[in-house]
A = this chain, B = another copy of it.
Amino acid sequence: MSTTDSPRWLDPEQMRSWLRLQAVIGLLPGLLDQQLRRDAGLTHFEYLTLAMLSEAPGRELRMSALAQRTNATLPRLSHVVRRLEERGLVARSTAPDDKRATVARLTAAGWEKVVASAPGHARTVLETVYDDLDATEVGTLNTVLDKMLAHIDPHDTFGIGPATGPRAARRP
């Protein structure tokens, strides 16, 4: 590797923005995790897993589909779903049409858990992120995030491309 080719650097304004973005990235996940852990006894990722299942048809998804929607690796999801199953919030079963595949289904208790914890989570997101932003700022934020994602996630792993219609998650 050549260490000499055009060592670009951030300009002052970019650097100021970068410090703030790092702060948000560093602190926001912890806040969300803390709130959910305290009020619902769930990790943010566990909540996300349950939430994605709650919005799926039949409240069930194959592991690989669930992994994509939660942006997790398959091993990680496997561990988490096993713990959730031990707590009775989801149930696993092999898919009838492909015996390699596993489908995770939300149990009644899991559904109740999501319903109970969703409002508090939404409230936290609103308070920490959106309360002081007007519609214009949200729009610009959206544009900016889209441009970032074009580089960060070129293959649209999340399934939220720029062409996103009203596909957004709804209250369960």
- A contacts, CB < 8 Å to B: 1, 3, 7-10, 12-21, 23-29, 31, 39, 71, 116, 119, 122-123, 125-133, 135, 137-153, 157-158, 160, 164, 166, 168-169, 171
Contacts and interface: CB of A to CB of B under 8 A. Distances in A.
A23 B158 contact: yes
Interface of chain A, main secondary structure: helix
A19 B152 contact: no
Contact of A27 (B18, B123, B138, B152): B152
B132 A13 contact: no
A23 B129 contact: no
Given A127-B151, A128-B148, A128-B152, 14 more contacts: A9-B171, A10-B122, A14-B130, A16-B164, A19-B158, A19-B168, A21-B129, A23-B149, A23-B153, A24-B145, A24-B148, A24-B152, A28-B148, A132-B151
